[in-house]
Amino acid sequence: MKLVMKFGGSSLADGRGIRRVAEIIKRYSSEHTCIVVVSALMGVTDRLIGLMALAQEGDKKGVDLGMKELIIKHEDAVKEAMIDREKLIDALDSVQPSFEELGRLLNAMTVLREGTPRTKDRILSFGEALSCLLLYHTLSDMGVKAQSFMGGDAGIVTDENFGEASPLMEVTRMKTSTNLTPLLNTGITPVVAGFTGVTQHGDVTTLGRGGSDYTATILGFSLDVDEVWIWSDVDGIMTCDPKLVSSAKLIPELSFAEALEMATFGIKQFHPRALEPSIRASIPLRIRNTFNESNPGTLISGAPKAGHGIVKAVALVKDVGMITVSGAGMAGRPGTAARVFDVLGRENVNVLMISQSASEASITFLVRKNALYKAVSDLEIALLGRGVIDNVAFEDDVSIVAAIGAGMKGTPGVAAKIFQAVAKKGVNIRMIAQGSSELNISFVVAQEDGQAAVQAIHEAFNL
């Protein structure tokens, strides 16, 4: 098969992790054609964000100390990962230019006490660039023919939306095929730094949250691979967070539609954007565990499989707030909802869930808690006292519970069973929403009741 294999930061925590990943690549590349995508070493992206914050405060001493710690972390990792001393010296030499450039950029930020989005993307890209180099040298140490690439060098071209760039897919498809296919044909394994691309002018961009997964599926689409494998520290996607329900089980198969619903509701294994290229090209995506290779993981592919359960998973979304706008003047007034959501859209507040009764006298919706108070303030300023909306109320102690599964579609009584199970636990439901796809039923409960509601559904459907 032709495979893209992406390894996350938890798989690349230290030198032993890098060595383990290299051994996995060596095994699979002996039988398959492999393209490898890597995230930064565990914790490095957060460290880089912290260093930029220190630089913007003008804290040179803090930046210098943080840089020393970052250098030590990577040098210790590669020393632990590699055996051949001569190749180790080459590896240590190869990362020095990256550290020097990173230091110069941070020093410039420290002097100016500011950083443009373009500069921040360049700094953040060093996490993946360094892990890519370390893995490449470890593969070389093990006798695997490989070549390292930044995302842009591999051929990933994006727009200029720094911080959350989107790939220009047709240009990317052409460039990655030109740059990587000749290597694959000669048995060389490309190792690509995830999360990164370049604009058409050559400026480094980052792909936002879940960007390394996105890199993997972009390359899968561009190179017409058979499957994309996302390696992390879990066996696959579970029926529920095991911290909430100890009896949670691995889900062996999901459809793209089910996985998209689950990713939207916070499943940590991947970001919804990462599914787009796989869905477009019908390329299966598999979630696997670096530390448990014998487990085949969760396979995500086309249509839902018949007979695989009505509800497949239950998700709990915390750190949300509920806002209700109401007023007698809302009933029968066209454009009221548009005005409400226009205010939120202009302030970049994302709405997670919406519900409105047939009376049209109120609209209730959910936002992330870190945007709650800003959203309420903006709505009050923009809408109150205009003769339509009389009140903007909010609650900051709620959670979303979502029951997800393709088997729910067209099956009578599913909602009744869910709400009966929750009611038996003494949990009051504050708000309900279900899309026309019928792939999930979402509802809002008090924050303290979230775990009980999840457990009730998990038990009721024998997940």
Query: What residue spans in the chain does CATH classification 3.30.2130.10 cover?
Result: 313-460
Distance CA 361, CA 52 (A): 47
Produce one character per residue of 180-216: b if its CB has 16 or more CB atoms within 10 Å, e if not. Answer: beebbeeeebbbbbbbbbbbeeebbbbbbebbbbbbb
Question: Whose CA is closest to 124, among 57, 212, 220, 60?
Answer: 212
Strand-strand pairing, 362-368 and 313-326: antiparallel
Q: What is the pLDDT of residues 397-455, one digit of tens each?
A: 999 999 988 888 777 888 899 999 999 999 999 888 876 667 888 899 999 999 999 99
pTM (whole model) above 0.85:
yes
Tens of pLDDT, residue by residue over 188-247, are 999 999 999 999 999 999 998 778 999 999 999 999 999 999 999 888 888 888 888 888
- Residues of the chain above pLDDT 90, percent: 67
Decide: helix, strand or coil at residue 281: helix
284-306 pLDDT, tens digit per residue, is 999 999 999 999 999 999 866 65
Which CATH number applies to 313-460?
A: 3.30.2130.10
Task: Return the closest-CA partner of residue 363 out of 323, 396, 321.
Answer: 323
pLDDT tens column, 115-172: 999 999 999 999 999 999 999 999 999 999 999 999 999 999 999 999 999 999 999 9
Q: How many CA atoms lie within 13 A of 364 on its CB side?
A: 17
- What does the alpha-carbon distance between residue 404 and residue 313 come to, in Å, rounded to a whole number? 5
* Domain(s) of CATH 3.40.1160.10: residues in the chain: 2-233
Q: CA-to-CA distance for 377 and 392, rounded, in angstroms? A: 9
Fold held by 2-233: Carbamate kinase (3.40.1160)
**DSSP character for 214?**
H
110, 129, 111, 118: which is closest to 40 by C-alpha? Answer: 129
Which residues contact residue 346 at a Cβ distance below 8 angstroms, ignoring those fewer than 6 apart? none
The dihedrals phi and psi of 390, each to the nearest 5 degrees, come to -100, -25
